[in-house]
Structure 1
Amino acid sequence: MLPLQCARTTLSKSWDTQRTVTHEDSLRIAPPTNIRAMSTMPSPEHQRIALPRPSFNSARSRDLPPAFSRMAGQVFALIVGIDKYQAGNIWNLDAAVDDARSIERWLTSDLQVPRDHICTLLDAQATKRNIEERFVSHLLNNSAIEPGDAIIVYFAGHGSSIRAPPGWFDRGRGDVSVLCTYDYDTKLPKGQTNAGISDRSLHAMLQDLARAKGDNITLILDTCFSLPTTSNDDPKERRFTRFTPTRKATSEDLLAGLWSTATPHKAEPVASRGFTGVSSDSHVVLAACSSGWAATERKDGGNFTRALLALKDARPLHKFTYADLPAELAPYMGDHQYAACAGMNVDRLLFDGVPFVPDTRYISVSTHDHEHVQVDAGEMQGITVGTEFAIYPHNRRGSLNSSTGIYVATLVFATWCLAKPKSSGKQMVREGWARVTRWNNQTPFRVDVKYSLFSFFRRNRLAAKIPSNAVDLAEKNGVGVLRAKSAKSADLSVKVKSKELLVERRDALIPANCQSILHIPSAETRTDLKAIEAAARFNMHLYRKQPSRPFAGKGARRSWTRRPRTRSMRSSSTTTRMSTSGRTSRTWTRVVTAYPWSTTQILLPPAPHSVDTPTW
């Protein structure tokens, strides 16, 4: 085991990339299933190795780990929020900008959308020209967006209407719904008036986008295009309604400001009027209300946006289709406003499910008997008797996932374990997903927090977060970390500086194999703790052993050294090969761990079928 152990101790520049096979990593290396349940693979004479196929039942096929589903897509968004308008005759709003920022926080915090995937335009930034230019640069011509990626266009602000030009509709004139940009109803340099972005223009924009990037496009509108019929143009209603009447812009201005691919004189049927009247195959519209209704706001946000964010905090969004949302939002919006949904793809899951990818930190759980559940992780993943799990109903990121109980491992095998509720009388779960909340490492990881004159208060906050005695340690989740009394008794010494954490690894194996001093970028206590917790996980997996040695004498390992041109991160993969002898088929699992300096293969045999092998 010496070559593998030495390879494990070599680290790169940060704890996130230098740690060895942790619980999360091990689930990426191999599916947490009993080896006996692995699928049959092609025979050796084909001279190829295929990835293992998990034996999950069809009822849970939607929760497959990412390794066995299609590559997860990305999310891109254009967000517009306007409170203050350039035209003096437009009543300013109070909460549209806050709504836009709240949507941005939802995307970045809950759905883990990178900030550079989001373009946010607020108030004076949200001119008609700027919105259209950023639509082209950030979405239409963005080479990072691939077909199938989720694209969100969000608008919060005033809506309005302009008299339709002749021939716009199949019969009658009527009004055209428009989104009021920051410079709406103001004079343009050529003497025309800014007529905003009409429904026909925006539909044409989204059709162009769908042809280039696919039809996973969601248009979210927290605005309206008329006042309540009972109030007409009452200023009191205007104060809380996201509608403004048009004073200057005319139908000629509307035609002059059309998107380049929009048809000026296409006669649309009356039923297709407005943003929610067109059932397009290019996108789905989620709107604060239908035509003829009003969208209102309060100081804490628009009624529709506030309801949408309340729903995501109360219900798991990954289960909903677009068509489900109006009814689901109704209890949060009151009886004066009802959300609308339109498009040919309204039966799809929200954002086509792209942000709600499976989270590999969760482990499959199934019923074993009336007292225990089976968790598909065992000694190979660092599970020991006493390890605690929180059980969840699903394994999707970005969707509400409340724990249904805490379970404790009572019997641990190589690749799976049995667990029972920590609290007596707790109702048993039949199936779900588990996540380790407390590793039962018998020897705590000891950390010495050195004094620092430059970051005195931050150092004290960090020291206070690390338990100093066994009683406090027992109440902490995660890996057991204890504050050492001196550097001599510590596994790790840290010193807080203004913009970094100076880390000295004092483990006996470290100095002989790699650099012992690291400078980790960090400017706050939260990131300091994350670095220490990552170091503790690395140390736990580095020294953990499997007393039962389930594969002792039954496997084979092969190692070799290589000299790559560039140092890269360690990568791991799992493959299986079936050996056939007569009528007997045996499936072997090969775990390949590739480091920048060497590659290690471990060949795991099929589980023996004998009377000594328990069947669970």
Structure 2
Amino acid sequence: MLLWWIDVAVSTAKEVLWYLQICPPPKPLDHPQVSPPSEAPQEKPPPPPTEIVIPSPAPSLFALIIGIDEYKDPGVPNLSGAVADANHVEKFLVDVVRVKPENIKHLRNEEATRHVIIEEIFRMESDARIKKNDPILIFFAGHGAFGKVESSSEKISMLVPYDFKPVCTKEEEGQGVLDITLERLLANLADMKGDNITVTFDCCHSGSGTRTDEYDPTYAVRSVDLPPDYMIPDYILSNARATKVPDKFAMAGLASHVLLSACKEQEFAQERDGRGVFTKALLGQLENLGSVDKITYQTLIARLPDLGVAQHPQCEGINQSRILFDAKAQKPERVLYSLRKLSGDSEVYVLDAGEAIGIKEGSQFTVFKDLNVDSTPVGALVAHETSPFTTVMRRTPDSPSFELDKQGFALQTLVGNGEDLRLSIELNSRLLDVFQSVKDEMGRTDAAKRGIILVEEDENPDLIVAVEHNEVVFNITDPTCKKYGLERMPFEVPIDISIIYPILRGAADFYWLLHHTSKTNEGLLAKNVKLECFCLQKTGKWDKKLKPLLAPKGDNLIQDNGVMNIFVDDKSIYGFKITNEWKVPLYAALFYLDSSDLSITPYYLPPTAKANLVDESLPANDFLTIGYGSGGGRPREYYLRPSQDVDIGFLKLLVSTKYVDYSNLKQSSPFPQGHRADVVYQSERRPALWDTILITVVQRKRKSA
């Protein structure tokens, strides 16, 4: 390879970097040629006006706002703040978000019967005004309840409509709006109108209103205490479920919507002084922001003030990292971690994040006193000692001393040791821009950009960039991919650094997650966690919207060697089951990593909550289903691109004894462009363990007989 501006031939990537460093090429980076004389310049267009004002249209958001204070049956205690909450939500939408009033359907008290609530959600499916991916909000303030199923000992959550009867009855009138019914309605709505759906519930979604020692009598609880003999008739469920009854409403990981709920499963949603404490805090935060287009669902919940009661709002759903009411995900988020000073040591701090999320020794962070990343930072810290979920930090040599009240917040600015993408670039002068960009990035890695180091082709690179037929190609070196015949990504791109560079950035994040494993417990946790995949079949049963219910058929497709073979010609659909054989509950996240396009797709994510007070994904000695049954999520299909006969992907299951927010790991394919940017607060007793399980997914065409 000839570096033409200094007339030096090079034979290694290190030589290229050296000469780029000491003898930078002229700009632009083009090989010198004799250019033809330019044509006479055309007459200049008139300058733009001093100010151009383009009025923004009212947002195309549609909402169903439900508030119930007064109940028909005297056995259901009335509330005093649910209607006020609904009215305030509607006012906020009209005054601040500028939603057209005709786009809002409101149900108050006697208007909010079971039939009407279900019918209004169903009606949105066929509303011609609602276009694909228009934002939809469903808000409910009122009572929740938890009832036993007639033919089993299991219980199921429900919303309590105006005409609910707290007695055992076989009649459909008087029943609650069951969580499975809502799940099906939302899934069908998402199929028709897209998954830009926000559901907000200010009610208890599990336990009874029984008072505890912690209960404050000045608060009212939004939950109905049902009699011991209360039963949900089997026929109510027969068209709304495929396997076991869900453990709670809308398990995290649902792809159809984002759920903001007032409390954890076993907590109380409470109201005081004529308002629900959750809705009042939520609207207060949004009103302070003055806008909904700059904050994600996760960040919104994380920024809520202390509610003053034992109530911890939750954020659930695959799309919880999206901007509010926006179908476009933000990637990656600028994540803020909570930070506290180590007792008795003024120079040592503890970060509430560790190895499980990728923090390494040498990682550097900027420190803020609050969650506002645009405020002035007070100092900088470097990671000295990492553990699974926490990191011991000290001030960097150039950081001033600083004081924190109770806690601070840290934004990662430099990744630590061992986080680099090993990249090999063909020695071709046409790739000089790529060499230059990689050189510029080396030593300047930040939290959103994992490191890239240049290596030779024989030094175990993760990826090889080369030129073929005047296009850039990306050669795969992963041994598993090569074993099954995938040696090149099925995309060729122009020799254009603006296209190539985002692909390299996406590759750095992709290969980091692929190789991310626990170094501290040698697979201990994974030994008693089982990941299974099944083909799904129709059960012959249908829900009320004529959607077929699914159940597993056949054996587990994941072999003992950790490989899952799929024949895409079968056009099968697949679901997953995660079983926890430990006697302690666990958290879980499941991703699919596509080796052909570098995308990272979440199949299941746990919810998020303020201070990370989140219900476990996997109760002790229990299981979670994905794509069928009660666990949420959608079944999956696999396909081969027209140019492929085989494709390789990886299922990456991450499990831990403590909550870890992995939602910012997802990414769209960087071919040709990916998404980036925002701020999420992540805070931080059981043994501190985390682990991963990696399954290879081999997709093939069947051979002709």
TM-score range, shorter chain: 0.3 to 0.5
With a CA cutoff of 8 Å and minimum separation of 6, indicate the structure with the bigger relative contact order: 1
- Structure with the largest fraction of helix: 1
**What TM-score results when the alignment is normalised by the length of structure 1?**
0.41
Higher alpha-carbon Rg: 1
**What TM-score results when the alignment is normalised by the length of structure 2?**
0.36
